[in-house]
Amino acid sequence: MVVTRFAPSPTGYLHIGGLRTALFSYLWAKKNGGEFVLRIEDTDKARNSQEATDAILKAFEWLGLDHDGEITYQSQRDEIYAKYIKQLLDEGKAYKCYMSKEELTELRETQMANKERTKYNGKYRDFDGTPPEGVEPVIRIKAPLTGEILVKDGVKGNVSFQAQDILDDFVIARADGAPTYNFVVAIDDHLMGITEVIRGDDHLSNTPKQIVVYEALGFDVPAFNHVPMIHNSEGKKLSKRDGATDVMAYKEMGYTPQALLNFLVRLGWSHGDQEIFSMQEMIELFDPKDINKSASIYNTEKLDWLNAHYIKNTSNTELAQLLTEYDLVLTSHDKKEILLDAVKERAKTLKDMAELAKEMLTTPTSYDEKAVKKAFKDDSIAIINAFGAKVSASKELHLPSDYHHLMESVVKEMEIGFGKIGQPLRIALLGKMSGPGLDVVMAVIGRDETMLRIANAITANS
C-alpha cells in the first residue's frame, strides 16, 4: 500500500510551497488507494508555536485535505528515539563524541583557512579512553567515509553522492539528549510505514544522511520524489510579495480552496493542455513521474483566472454562505440572486464580490469629482429628475427589465442617447462611473432607494 506524508515544522506559517508538496502527497496516496498521514515535526521546542500548529490544521480543514489516522507529534516520541539511539550505541554504529564547542570551532576555522570542506574529523569515532571531564557528549552516527550513496529519485532520476564529499559522522542526538532532524525523520518514516516521500528539492541534501540512518537501523528506504522549487516571474525564490505567504491569507484575500488547489497542482505538473481540474480528476491523473524537472513559475494572473472560473461556477446559495466570511450577509435579501449573478461576472475573488456588492447596497455619501464633471452637464439634472419621477409613479418595479423600460421611455420622450441618462444616473446610484448594469443596480436596491439616491445626487450636484 502506498503511504505518503506531510511533515511540517510548526515554527512558522504553512506556505504555498509546503502546501503543494502536501497536495502532491495527498493525490498520490488517494490515487493508489493508500493513506496520507500528517506528522508535526515539533522537536525544536525553542521555536515551536502552538499558533503555527493550529494554523496548519486550520489550512488543511479549509482546503479539505483530510489526513488518515491520528496526527503524529514528534515531541511526544522522545522515548522511541532514545531506544534507537541506544540500539545504535550498543551495536557500535554510533558513539559518544566529547569534542567541545571550542574544539569544533577551532577545527572548522582551520579547515576554512586551508580551503577544506568543514566537517567533523572523527576524533572520537573509535575512542576507548577516559572521557574528558565537564563535557556532555553528543551522539554521532558512524557514516560511511568512502563509497557512493545513491538516491533513486522519481523526479530527478538517480542522484549519486560521494560519501567523502558530503558526509561526516553527523550528530543524531545533542548533548541534552534531543534527537536531530535527519535521525527522527528516518525513524518516523519507517514506523509510520511511509513508502514514498514527496518533498521540495531543498531536502535533497538531507536524503543521503537519512539513508545512512535507514541502513544503520536495517530499515527499508522509501521511494523519493524531490520536487523543484516555485520561483517568481524573475526566476528567483518566492517572497511574500510574490505569494510566499500564509496559506490562510489566500482565504482572507478571497480565493476558493478549489482554485488554490487547482493552481498548485499545475505548478510543476501537467496533463496535456488541461488547465481546469476537479479534485477527482487530480486524483485520477496525478503521477509524480510527470512532475517537471525544472522550477515552476508563480503566476498571480493564472490564480485569479482560475478563481474567477470557480466563482462563476459556484451556486448562488453557496456563494451567499461564503460571502458571510467577508461581512456580507444576503440571506434575507430578496434580490440576492440578481445581485450575485451581476457581481460574480466581474469579480476575481470572493473579497472582490463582497466589495462590489457592498458598493451597490451602500448609499453613496460622496461623488467622484472627475466623473461628476464629465456626467453632469447641460440638462443632466432634468434628465435624471424626469427618470426619478417615472420611478416614483411606477408601483410595479421588480426586475432589471422593468427599470430598463423606464430608461428607454425617458430616452425616447426626451429624444436623447442612452449616454445622456446613463452617465448621470450611474453617478447618482454608485457615486462613480464604473459598476454593473444600471437596471441591475436598481432592481437590487429597489424603488425607494433608487429615488433616494437620485434625489441626493440632484441636491449635491445642482
pLDDT(246) > 90: no
Answer yes or no: is 240 a known binding residue: yes
CA distance 305 to 307: 5
Q: Is the pLDDT of residue 312 over 80?
A: yes
pLDDT of residue 116: 86
Q: Classify strands 148-153 and 157-162 as parallel, antiparallel or unpaired.
A: antiparallel
| Per-residue cell: 321 | 454562505
The fraction of the chain above a pLDDT of 70, given in percent, is: 99
This model's pTM is above 0.85? yes
- pLDDT of 244 over the 70 cut: no
What percent of the chain is modeled with pLDDT above 90? 81
| Same fold across 1-72+228-312 and 363-462 | no
- Render pLDDT for 275-309 as a digit per residue (tens, 0 to 9): 999 999 999 999 999 999 999 999 999 999 999 99
pLDDT tens, 131-149?
998 899 999 999 999 999 9
| Residue 5 clears pLDDT 70, i.e. is over it | yes
Cell numbers for 120, please give them.
567533523
Q: Tell me what the mean pLDDT of segment 255-282 comes to.
A: 96
Taking residues 71-86, report their average pLDDT: 96
Q: pLDDT tier at 235 (50, 70, 90 boundaries)?
A: confident
Strands (E), 98-236: 138-141, 148-153, 157-162, 171-173, 196-200, 223-227, 230-231
| Beta-carbon contacts of residue 21 (< 8 Å; ≥ 6 apart) | 6, 198, 199, 200, 227
φ/ψ of 197, rounded to 5, equals -110, 120
What is the CATH number that goes with domain 1-72+228-312?
A: 3.40.50.620
Q: How confident is the model at residue 243 (pLDDT cuts 50, 70, 90)?
A: low
Q: Cβ distance 322 to 350 under 8 Å?
A: yes
- From the candidates 240, 293, 374, 377, which is the catalytic residue? 240
> Which of 197, 170, 193, 191 has the alpha carbon at shortest distance from 181?
170
Domain boundaries, the chain: 1-72+228-312, 78-227, 314-362, 363-462
Q: What is the pLDDT of residues 193-228, one digit of tens each?
A: 999 999 999 999 999 999 999 999 999 999 999 999
CA 376, distance to chain mean position in Å, is: 47
Reported CATH class of domain 363-462: mainly alpha
Let me know if domain 78-227 sits in CATH 3.40.50.620: yes
pLDDT at residue 155 in the model? 96
Q: Are the C-beta atoms of residues 410 and 387 closer than 8 Å to each other?
A: yes
Task: Compute the mean pLDDT over every residue in the chain, rounded to the nearest whole number.
Answer: 94
Mean pLDDT of 231-235: 85
Contact 184, 78 (CB under 8 A): no
Q: pLDDT tens digit string along 25-70?
A: 999 999 999 999 999 999 877 778 888 899 899 999 999 999 999 9
Active-site residue, 240 included:
yes
* Rounded Cα distance, 21 and 199, in Å: 5
| pLDDT at residue 375, as a whole number | 87
Question: Of 265-279, 365-379, 383-397, which range is least confident?
Answer: 365-379
Per-residue pLDDT, 271: 95
